[in-house]
Structure 1
Amino acid sequence: MAFGIASHQVFAAEITTSVDRNPVSIDESFKIFFTASDTPDGDPDFAPLEQDFSIINQGQSSSSSWVNGTYSKSIRWTVEVTANKPGNLVIPAIKFGNDASNPLPVVVTQGTATGDSANTNEEIFLEVKATPEQLYVQSQVLYTIRLYRRVDVAQAELSEPELADAVIEKLGEDSNYNTVVDGVSYLVTERKYAIFPQKSGTMTIKPLSLTAAIIVDRQPDFRDFFGSRMTKTKRVLSKEVTLNVKPAPSSFTGKDWLAAEKLELSQEWSGDIQQMKVGEPLTRTLTLRGEGTTVGQLPELNKVVTDANLKTYPDQPVLNEQKLPSGISASRQEKIALIPATSGKHVLPAIEIPWFNTKSQAVEIARIPETTINVIGAIDNQPETTKPPKLLATPAAPVTKAESNTQVPINNGVPQSSIWLWASLCLALGWMATVIYFLQRRPKNQIPDGKEINRLKRETSLKE
């Protein structure tokens, strides 16, 4: 039994819980997503949801992919619900056999506030909202568009928000849900944008324009067989939104202005910084994560100046940006290889990044404290040889690695130029000796004596 429990803990499927928006109104439906990275132990039991929520619809989908030789799988369950009461509710953990999802808090408000543009006498209308309308320069504004309709629409075209001197990013996909306004049921399509004003002052987001082809309610006739339907075109305008953008506060003294809802700075090492070795590289990874800011606003991290005995080799930064329903999330990661040249302790200065918290409206500092690394020695720990005495007349000749292991007597009385002279003389003498040797071994033409002459004459006479 113990083995079975341990095995389940190792191979349990990870199931995450998310919603399409938060907070929600009590008279609005919203979707809950349960996403698993692998097939869970069993089918989901959604009964615990019915304590605080009413289930309208549910479905399941799956997807798989190969990326760089790595296989990944995703299974998603979608449950559309409405809240039974307002307040701070919790989506409970849902069991999938022996696996379970994580609980998730959700805020349910009392009712829908449709704003000045709402008119329940209209069959279709637009609502726009900017949060916040009072902000600091380069801070994030969530611009939400809601299209309310109680008629069927064959086709619709909505203009994009426009604002000079601002960065505008669309956040995720549109969400659809049902709501009730003053006792009238509407189908709502919601779209979100993140806007970052780049200058201070009063800025106005122009009204959006919606052109919709509304299907006319009529009795079907023979033309429906060919897919022809009668429509009427209607144009709807939203209200304009005014932003009051303030400059960076005087209390901010950092070099680079950075406004965010959340900022975290962290570091990781590829090995033990207390057991480094001379000549061996160790990688330091610096990561800066921010919410409510773009990746272009995140500053450079590797500005630490080290001493000459600690070489640094930075890699190209890795930049990432996610467009979530709650806003922009960005990260910057920098990897630096450090190679110590000497043993001992090396101190890396603290890294500090001042930033402005748009939620608390206060200046904060993301900080990595001073880091001390310890280098214990070289890769090949060889004993040092005795240094030769210092020569006053001429500098000592460089000693090669082979010679460093042998004690060589030094004659201080012989100048270095005399050594080269004697070496040249020896080479010349050797060359001359070689020449004489080969000359002596060359065959010589000897003159024949009298006996040899008589022998040759007799041999000649016999041949004749």
Structure 2
Amino acid sequence: MRNCLLPCWLGLCLFWLSGVAAAEIGVAVDRNPVGLNESFQITFTAAEQPDGSPDFEPLRQDFEIVNQQRSTSASWVNGKSSRNEQWLLTAMAKRSGELTIPAIAFGADSSKPLALTVTETAQPTAKDDELFLEVSATPEQPYVQAQVIYTLKLFRRVQITQASLSEPEIKDALVEKLGEDSTYSTQIKGVDYWVTERKYAIFPQQSGLFTIAPLVLNAEYVSGRQQPRFNGFFNRPSTETRRVVSKAVTLNVRAVPAEFKGAWLGAESLELSESWSDASRQAKVGEPLTRTLTLKAKGATVGQLPELFDKTPIDGIKTYPDQPLLNEDKQSDGLTASREEKIAFIPSKPGEYNLPALHIRWFNTKTHKIEEAALPAAKIKALAVAGTAEPDVAAAAAA
């Protein structure tokens, strides 16, 4: 009889010991239901040391983990010690519907599944929302390779602690950020908002219908709620993370007008100018006279600007062009491209020389008309040097 009771007693002890060893893992959310584009908090709590570190990988199937923290606290009250461990996760659902926070393994220990309702929240349309985006494109029917000003405005009446914003994406287009962001305040229906405004220049490279993909903002902001964190003394204001998505914008890009002939150049304005190292346009034989040609086009890129130097040979003059100086000025009202070319003319014999006129054909994207920028034909004069032999032109150019 005694031998029969011994195995039973040992089994009961082992069962009791295994029950003591298993740590109970609690799980809770800060609210239920939650919106699809809103963050929420999942808290895992253990009163004893779990068997191992948590494996949150199963959670990623339906949820995005935005942030996670861990805290351990211990206390000694009336001769008894207590321990508390917490894992606080900030998460966002990947889809709406009736979802389940799965059981999370902590080594051999595990939490229990928890049901969560995720609602399909509409994008903010009412202007009393705490955080929303507005985007616009001007014009929405641009010409191919012409500038489109894409403006983003972030309206907020909450304090943002950190945020990330996607860049505008559009097929077959060049995208350039313009200037620095501007911040100002405004009122909408009597409600004060801070506005952060950002602008881009977009240059579609093909004609047809194109869509600028929605921008996505992930922002962590101070919610008005005060929540204890990790049962500590140093509690701070609760933060929430929210995903805000802008609308998509469709562009109907026009092709090059049939009546335009030659290399296509579309711009909002264009200016062609010249200057000379000697205003009288005179130089002694063997000495350089430098001409500077400058082309500025608003609403165009440097890649669209044509060469300015006419390479047609001129009998009696050697020409030495420098490398062009290219520049793009990105201001809040748009991009202005410039091309500067310097050409040194060195006459080998005295006399007057004619330089051909310069014509730049371009299309005004504001007036929808073909225009032409021109510089008239120029005349330069080479003066003889008394009592000297004909100079070495190549040596003079090198000097």
Change (3 A) 1:150 1:248: same
Matches within 5 A, 1:314-353: 314-353=321-360
2:220 to 213, 228, 243: 213
CA distance in structure 2 between the aligned counterparts of 1:225 and 1:331, rounded to whole angstroms: 61
Higher CA-based Rg: 1
Structure 2, unaligned runs of 5 or more: 1-122, 391-399
CA distance in structure 2 between the aligned counterparts of 1:363 and 1:262, rounded to whole angstroms: 12
2:100 aligns with: none
* TM-superposition CA deviations, 1:25-75 (whole Å, max 9, x none): xxxxxxxxxxxxxxxxxxxxxxxxxxxxxxxxxxxxxxxxxxxxxxxxxxx
1:192 aligns with: 199
Aligned AA for 2:178?
L
- In terms of fraction of residues, the more strand-rich structure is 2
Change (3 A) 1:382 1:335: closer
SS in 2 for 1:296: helix
Cα shift at 1:239: 0.6
1:173 aligns with: 180
* TM-superposition CA deviations, 1:165-204 (whole Å, max 9, x none): 1000011111111111122211111111000000000000
2:79 aligns with: none
CA distance in structure 1 between the aligned counterparts of 2:389 and 2:194, rounded to whole angstroms: 82
- Tell me if 1:241 matches 2:249: yes
Cα shift at 1:273: 4.2
Structure 1, unaligned runs of 5 or more: 1-115, 385-464
Cα shift at 1:130: 0.2
RMSD after superposition = 2.2
Cα shift at 1:118: 3.9
Matches within 5 A, 1:78-157: 118-157=125-164
- Tell me if 1:380 matches 2:386: yes
Identity in percent: 55
Aligned AA for 1:141?
V
CA distance in structure 1 between the aligned counterparts of 2:342 and 2:388, rounded to whole angstroms: 32
Q: TM-score, normalised by structure 1?
A: 0.55
1:69 aligns with: none
Change (3 A) 1:225 1:300: farther
- Tell me if 1:263 matches 2:291: no
- Give the aligned length: 267
Q: TM-score, normalised by structure 2?
A: 0.63
2:374 aligns with: 367
User: Is the Cα contact below 8 Å between 2:296 and 2:337 reproduced in 1?
Assistant: yes
SS in 1 for 2:303: helix
CA distance in structure 1 between the aligned counterparts of 2:338 and 2:344, rounded to whole angstroms: 20
Which structure is richer in relative contact order (CA contacts within 8 A, separation 6 or more)? 2
User: Is the Cα contact below 8 Å between 1:124 and 1:151 reproduced in 2?
Assistant: yes
CA distance in structure 1 between the aligned counterparts of 2:325 and 2:285, rounded to whole angstroms: 28
SS in 1 for 2:142: strand
Cα shift at 1:321: 1.1
User: Is the Cα contact below 8 Å between 1:275 and 1:374 reproduced in 2?
Assistant: yes
1:287 aligns with: 294
Aligned AA for 1:346?
Y
Cα shift at 1:227: 7.6
User: Is the Cα contact below 8 Å between 2:226 and 2:238 reproduced in 1?
Assistant: no
Change (3 A) 1:286 1:226: farther
CA distance in structure 2 between the aligned counterparts of 1:117 and 1:304, rounded to whole angstroms: 59
Change (3 A) 1:161 1:375: same
Cα shift at 1:140: 0.3
Change (3 A) 1:224 1:138: farther
Aligned AA for 2:144?
V
CA distance in structure 2 between the aligned counterparts of 1:357 and 1:306, rounded to whole angstroms: 32
User: Is the Cα contact below 8 Å between 2:227 and 2:238 reproduced in 1?
Assistant: no
CA distance in structure 2 between the aligned counterparts of 1:316 and 1:260, rounded to whole angstroms: 24
Cα shift at 1:382: 5.7
Cα shift at 1:150: 1.3
* TM-superposition CA deviations, 1:271-291 (whole Å, max 9, x none): 144432221111111111111
CA distance in structure 2 between the aligned counterparts of 1:363 and 1:117, rounded to whole angstroms: 43
- In terms of fraction of residues, the more helix-rich structure is 1
User: Is the Cα contact below 8 Å between 2:181 and 2:196 reproduced in 1?
Assistant: yes
Change (3 A) 1:274 1:317: closer
SS in 2 for 1:178: strand
CA distance in structure 1 between the aligned counterparts of 2:206 and 2:216, rounded to whole angstroms: 26
Cα shift at 1:162: 0.3
Cα shift at 1:117: 6.1
* TM-superposition CA deviations, 1:201-254 (whole Å, max 9, x none): 000001111111121113587999858431112111111000010111112112
CA distance in structure 2 between the aligned counterparts of 1:374 and 1:296, rounded to whole angstroms: 35
Matches within 5 A, 1:55-94: none
